[in-house]
Chains A and B, each alone.
Chain A
Amino acid sequence: MISGSWFEKQKNIIDYSLQSLLRRRSKNILILIIFILLVFGVSSILFITGSLTREMMITSNELPDITVQRILGGRQVNVPALFIPEIKKIPGVEAVETRVWGYFYLASLQANFTIYGMDLDLLEDGEYRKVVNWKNVPDQAERNPDYRMIVGQGVYELLENIQMEKRYLFYQPSWEKPIPFDIIGTFKADTELQSNDLMVLQTEGARRVLELPPDEFSDLVVYVPNPEEIENIALKIRRYFPELRTVTRAQIQNTYSSVFGWKSAFVLSSMLVAIFAFLILIWDKASGLSPEEKREIGILKAIGWDTDVVLSVKFWEALILSGISSLAGILLAYAYIYWLRAPGLREIFIGWSTIYPSFRLIPNVDPKFLLLIVTISVVPYLAVTIFPAWKAAITDPDVIIRNI
């Protein structure tokens, strides 16, 4: 049986391994299913967290250099205008921009919108124009340019349900009357992951809605042309004005890259569970062969097989089983995350939100991930399958067969 070239020999061994796998069909199918589920679980989590991290990182270079907030009593409060000239004086600062933004909770829909105030005329020209699906605005919108807004896709769909997709009335019980805003466009679906819950209002209107007093801003944005200076200027701002807090772009990027790292409870808990499940599977394998398998090895030895051939058979068995299940697990996870958009798993990220994006994520199949999955699945499985087989194979066949 075992003769000819190396390839032929391996072919025959694989043939024998396959038949041996099929002989113990029910047990192997069970191992296969558990193995597939484990690999599927681990790779789904790696895929979804990897994709979300990538989605965040992809646009992070466009973030402002330094965000300056004012902290009072451990809370973020409005920044008065008097800080602006002082920060501008710091050498190396190119510009200080003010931002007006906040949140609006619509109790009837239990929806939390992000309100951002900016000059909408800026969006109307140049490259920015393409970000928005502009709508035909009725003439009356021209009459109050301060009360117009562009909303994200998610907000638009929500407002459509309450027939307010053309004109939305902001209202708080403490106000005398509602403030009507014309919706002049929606952000394109491409930007959905960032713009879904956003209402971009004309700054003056946003001030009214957020009830922001004049000469105060939500936070400041500092632009520093030399990237080497950013850290230093942030430090200066903090030293000169201890009540200000700075968040640099590098810090936000750091946060992005570690957000789904090992410190995240979700990743940690699911990974621990998966690794322990692997360990149990492997422990079961390593604790020894079944008497039947031992006898098979004994008989093979008795009819003249070498130890290394017996080990090859076991090696191929384990490799075929773990290889097929790893591949199937990874493929299933890909289909689950990127084709089905992770039903079940995405709810963890969405939480209790009413507005959430459709989770059409950019695929992030990192060779690093695949290597990690192979290292925690295939390699230990191979090792623990071969070791007991080796122990059986070096024992006298007579002893093994009689022991049954």
Chain B
Amino acid sequence: MVMIAFCLWSGLEYRDFHKRLLEREQELRARRQFQKAVGLPNLAITTAARYLRHYSITDLATPFHDYPASLDHFPAGFAFAPPDYSSMPSPIVFGKLNK
């Protein structure tokens, strides 16, 4: 009985998984078009603060005020890791670069 219930349950979720993937294929075209039209990155999952909404192109000093990965006072900030600062001269210096 338990085995059969498990098989049914897994089967149901497996079917659902495939159905959703298929549905998404069609949806994806719209989303790619949208992304092309509006070039802003990131998902609209949180709008609590601007540096969480457009998290990957945000200011340098606004998110993670004190140091990279420092805790944030917005609850959603807790869920994000610091963005990629790899193109910054290391260490992060503000001002003119010495050529």
- Tell yes or no: A191 within 8 A of B by CB: yes
Query: Which of A64, A74, A113, A265 meets B61, CB within 8 Å?
Result: A74
- If A259-B55, A331-B9 touch, does A75 touch B34 (CB 8 Å cutoff)? no
Contact across chains for A200 and B38 when beta carbons are under 8 A apart: yes
Contact across chains for A348 and B79 when beta carbons are under 8 A apart: yes
- Tell yes or no: A322 within 8 A of B by CB: no
Scan residues 18-57 of chain B and give those whose CB is less than 8 A from a CB of chain A. 20-21, 24, 27-28, 30-50, 52-57
Contact across chains for A356 and B37 when beta carbons are under 8 A apart: no
Contact across chains for A349 and B79 when beta carbons are under 8 A apart: yes
Min CB–CB distance B59 → chain A (angstroms): 5
Nearest B residue to A258 via CB reads: B81
Q: How far is the CA of A363 from the CA of B83 in the complex (A)?
A: 24
Q: What band does the interface of chain A fall in when counting residues whose beta carbon is under 8 Å from B?
A: 35 or more
Q: Mark A278-289, 1 if CB is under 8 A from B, else 0.
A: 000000000000
Min CB–CB distance B60 → chain A (angstroms): 6
Contact across chains for A349 and B56 when beta carbons are under 8 A apart: no
Contact across chains for A99 and B41 when beta carbons are under 8 A apart: no
- If A256-B56, A265-B71 touch, does A62 touch B47 (CB 8 Å cutoff)? no
- Tell yes or no: A4 within 8 A of B by CB: no
Contact across chains for A355 and B47 when beta carbons are under 8 A apart: yes
Contact across chains for A99 and B39 when beta carbons are under 8 A apart: yes
Q: How far is the CA of A344 from the CA of B15 in the complex (A)?
A: 26
Q: Which residues of A contact B45 (CB under 8 A)?
A: 52, 193, 349-350, 353, 356-357, 359
- If A191-B31, A191-B34 touch, does A352 touch B97 (CB 8 Å cutoff)? no
Min CB–CB distance A117 → chain B (angstroms): 10
A-B contact pairs, 14 of them (CB 8 A): A52-B45, A63-B35, A74-B94, A103-B53, A118-B38, A190-B30, A190-B31, A191-B30, A194-B43, A239-B97, A239-B99, A254-B84, A254-B86, A324-B2
10 nearest A-B residue pairs (beta carbon): A351-B76, A263-B81, A74-B61, A62-B35, A196-B44, A59-B35, A254-B84, A255-B56, A264-B81, A266-B79
